[in-house]
Amino acid sequence: MSQTLQTPDRLQFAVSGMDCPSCVAKLETALGRMPGISDVSVNFTGGTLSLTAAAPEEARASVPNWIGALGFAARPLEDDAPVAPADDTPWWKTGKGRLVVATGVLTGLAFVVSFLDPALAQWPYVAAALLGLVPFGRRAVALARAGSPFSIETLMTVAAIGAIGIGAAEEAAIVVFLFAVGELLEGVAAGRARAGIKALVALVPRDALVETHGQVVTRPASALKIGNVVQIRPGDRVPADGRIIEGRSTLDESAVTGESVPVTRGPGDAVRAGTINGEGRLRVEVTHDPQDNTIARIIRMVEDAQGSKAPTARFIERFSRWYTPAAMLVAALVITVPPLALGQDWTTWIYRGLSLLLIACPCALVLSTPAAIASAIAAGARRGLLLKGGAALEHLGRIRHVAFDKTGTLTEGRPRVTDVVTLVMGNDVLALAAAVEAGSSHPLARAITIEARARNLALPRATDAGAVAGRAAHGVIDGQRYEVGSPRHANEALDAAARDRATALEGAGKTVVVLLREGQALGLIALRDEPRPDASAAIARLRRLGIEPVMLTGDNKRTGEAVAGTLGLAARAELLPQDKLAEIERLRADGGVAMVGDGINDAPALAAATVGIAMGGGTDVALDTADAALLHQRLGGVADLVALSRRALANIHQNIAIALGLKALFLATTLMGATTLWMAILADTGATVIVTLNALRLLRRDADA
């Protein structure tokens, strides 16, 4: 009987329960051993798994079962199905949360009982340890069967069982409790990171006004097709990438390109999904499918950049690749070889083997790195420096470049009046322009009115105020018509000297507007998004640390180079998100790079950089994508983060040396018979106390420049 051969097929699954990047290696190792499965790839941040299956239908049924046995959950994804949103279940309602609460309560109860009746305290400690060991032990067995016999779960399980076996149940309970807390916190952090993608999706409106058969109907933006014509009202977000076929307006593209000033768009110009329309009504022809619009591409770039990062395995997981089997092998040899080969007393050598097992308990090693990292993170938080994990802290100390976004990062993120040039004496140019612009919400108009108020100017009353989209604002003052527009709009009213002055101001990266009265040019007003007050000092400090700064901006080249020249750093301008991503990859080839930004357009670069740093006042996407954030929005915080990281790295190296040094010392004394069980316990708890106290020093000292 003939068989129908199935063609290998690429399948995708949504995976939940991954709380740290080491889960990636576990899943890839386990699934790689399944027959008919190949090319396994796990995206930790996206919570997805993809693989090639020789028998697709069988894999859809069997893979979730295999994954479930390892302590995770999975469901097949269809080609067009979205990944499930981040789980918003409160931590105390999750399985890991309940485990932490239960083991914590039992451990606390045992501690109280030990004061009342020490003889009874052992049993609550045993119950707490065994309760916590059930899920970890089950996972350790499943991982061992799947090809990862020396996982951190194995190490913790063997250590805790060994402690219970020699009567040190309190040690076992505390180790299990701390491990459970760590797993829970990692899961909470991972869920928070994945939730950031929601803010990107929210940029595209749900509905669009589509022209069909002479009528305008409302349809889901996700159903738009190439060639559809949509209407975009003033204040609406653009629902799709397209081309303007009728209308003129200003569009706020800052969320996508980083351009600090709204740009004028008219017939034939391209518009991007997620940008905000200004005061004009537009008719736009859709040029890209919804799944290929600008926002969708940015989402994919963020996910790909995060997925391409090398998984940061926990220190103990890496170290246990040889430490765990070596420690277990040495303990087994200590117990069996002397009695079998030399006829020594079994009781003596079992005692020494159990002492060795306690010495090998990873408490000090488990805490050596996290204790330093936790102290450094707490020290940073006191100074407004938010770090989202140990990997970012470790990488910051090794970076060689820092890439800055311009708008809202190096600059304040809003235009300000820098120059007022009077062309016809006797006219208060700023007051008259502010009167015309008083009712406008345009960023340049707001900057002019804010400056006039700051100077306590008396504004005349303007009537019949309005604006011609993309051209000029206008109003009537004392019976005369005034306009505020671009030099191009007022070109015929400007003489050669005025044109030269406007050109010089624009050459300095400033936006120039002209005040007109009945067609006569009265004056020029220049505006620019100015650098933050501390920007120059922050860049100079980074250079003293041996780090090279560079600006990456979506703004125009003239403005970007003008701001960069003021601050004394190189600039790469007119960059779209994919261009910023390419620049980050180029800098990474020359060493570690940190990216500092605040906008949605910075999200791919923040994710691709060795460390992404978001300004505290930036978008939710930038904050969620980044590895660190400057809550106080002071650029000097970047150098503070680097200095803090370097001190933390030195502290980590000290802690590892202390933990391993003490274990090596007590290993020697145990083999010589000079170590008792009490000394073996002290070898671990003493090292734990020492590394913890050493780590706490990070809280007492300020970071050096």
CATH of the domain at 284: 2.70.150.10
Q: Could you tell me which residues come within 8 angstroms of residue 481 by beta carbon, excluding any fewer than 6 positions away? A: 474, 475, 517, 518
Secondary structure (3-state) at 382: helix
pLDDT single digits (tens) 593-608: 999 987 667 778 888 8
Residue predicted with more confidence, 217 or 589? 217
319 & 170 share domain: yes
95 & 61 share domain: no
Q: Has residue 391 been placed in a domain?
A: no
70 & 122 share domain: no
pLDDT single digits (tens) 617-659: 555 555 566 788 786 778 888 999 999 999 988 888 898 888 8
Tokens of 660: 């391993």
pLDDT beyond 90 at 70: no
Q: Could you tell me which residues come within 8 angstroms of residue 80 by beta carbon, excluding any fewer than 6 positions away? A: none
In the chain, the number of structural domains is 4
Tell me which of 528, 543, 567 is where a domain ends.
Answer: 528
Residue predicted with more confidence, 161 or 244? 244
pLDDT beyond 70 at 199: no
**Terminal Cα-to-Cα distance of the chain (whole angstroms):** 77
Cα three-residue angle 596-412-275, rounded to 5 degrees? 80
Q: Which DSSP symbol is given to 311?
A: P
Cα three-residue angle 136-35-2, rounded to 5 degrees? 145
Q: Has residue 656 been placed in a domain?
A: no
Average pLDDT over residues 200-222: 86
Q: Which residue, 111, 604, 592, is CA-closest to 391?
A: 592
Amino acid 685: pLDDT: 61
Q: What pTM was estimated for this model as a whole?
A: 0.58
Amino acid 684: pLDDT: 63
149 & 175 share domain: yes
Q: Has residue 409 been placed in a domain?
A: no
* Mean pLDDT over each residue of the chain, to the nearest integer: 79
Residue 77 pairs in a beta bridge with: 12
pLDDT single digits (tens) 485-541: 888 888 888 888 999 999 899 888 888 999 999 989 999 999 988 888 889 999 999
193 & 100 share domain: yes
Amino acid 87: pLDDT: 52
Task: Say if residues 513 and 399 touch (Cβ distance below 8 Å).
Answer: no
Cα three-residue angle 665-669-671, rounded to 5 degrees? 120
127 & 154 share domain: yes
326 & 190 share domain: yes
d(C-alpha 261, C-alpha 443), whole Å: 7
Amino acid 242: pLDDT: 93
- Residue 565 φ/ψ, nearest 5 degrees: -65, -35
110 & 158 share domain: yes
Helices marked H in 568-635: 577-588, 603-608, 620-625
What percent of the chain stands above pLDDT 70? 78
Helix (H) or strand (E) holding 344: none
460 & 500 share domain: yes
Domain CATH code at residue 68: 3.30.70.100
125 & 255 share domain: no
Amino acid 676: pLDDT: 54
Amino acid at 509: G
Q: Has residue 398 been placed in a domain?
A: no
* Band (129; pLDDT cuts 50, 70, 90): confident
Half-sphere exposure of 471 (CA within 13 A, CB side): 13
| Residue 505 CA: distances (Å) to CA of 55, 417, 484, 516, 560 | 67, 12, 17, 18, 14
Sequence-separated contacts (24+) of 605-611 with Cβ below 8 Å: 605/403, 605/405, 605/552, 605/577, 605/580, 605/581, 607/301, 607/302, 607/305, 607/306, 608/301, 608/305, 608/308, 608/581, 608/584, 609/403, 609/584, 610/395, 610/398, 610/399, 611/392, 611/395, 611/396, 611/399
Tokens of 303: 């996910």
Cα three-residue angle 245-250-252, rounded to 5 degrees? 115
Most confident of 207-216, 259-268, 468-477: 207-216
Q: Which DSSP symbol is given to 156?
A: H
Which residues span the domain enclosing 125?
Answer: 91-197+312-356
pLDDT beyond 80 at 613: yes
pLDDT single digits (tens) 91-125: 777 777 888 888 888 888 888 887 787 777 678 88
Q: Has residue 383 been placed in a domain?
A: no
117 & 177 share domain: yes
Q: Has residue 144 been placed in a domain?
A: yes
d(C-alpha 595, C-alpha 392), whole Å: 12
pLDDT single digits (tens) 25-65: 678 778 888 888 888 877 765 677 888 888 888 888 888 88
Amino acid 668: pLDDT: 82
Cα three-residue angle 363-367-373, rounded to 5 degrees? 175
pLDDT single digits (tens) 369-383: 766 776 787 777 667
Amino acid 309: pLDDT: 40
d(C-alpha 667, C-alpha 661), whole Å: 10
Amino acid 510: pLDDT: 87
Q: Has residue 104 been placed in a domain?
A: yes
Q: With helix as H, strand as E and coil as C, how does 384-404 read?
A: CEEECCHHHHHHHCCEEEEEE
Amino acid 368: pLDDT: 72
Amino acid 686: pLDDT: 67
pLDDT single digits (tens) 545-595: 999 999 998 877 888 888 888 898 998 988 888 888 889 989 988 888 999
Residue predicted with more confidence, 676 or 444? 444
CA dihedral for 134, 135, 140, 145, sign (positive or negative): positive
Most confident of 196-205, 219-228, 405-414, 571-580: 219-228
Neighbours of 274 (CB within 10 A): 26
pLDDT beyond 60 at 268: yes
Residue predicted with more confidence, 195 or 163? 163
> Which is it for strands 282-286 and 263-265: parallel, antiparallel or unpaired?
unpaired
Does the annotation count 464 as an active-site position?
Answer: no
Tell me which of 25, 53, 77 is where a domain ends.
Answer: 77
Q: Has residue 700 been placed in a domain?
A: no
Amino acid 308: pLDDT: 40
For 5-28, the DSSP string reads PPPPEEEEEEEE---STHHHHHHH
Tokens of 590: 């020359």
| Residue 163 CA: distances (Å) to CA of 173, 346, 360, 704 | 9, 19, 11, 43
Tell me which of 497, 528, 559 is where a domain ends.
Answer: 528
d(C-alpha 175, C-alpha 367), whole Å: 10
137 & 107 share domain: yes
Tokens of 639: 């150098």
Q: Which one is catalytic: 19, 236, 241, 405?
A: 405
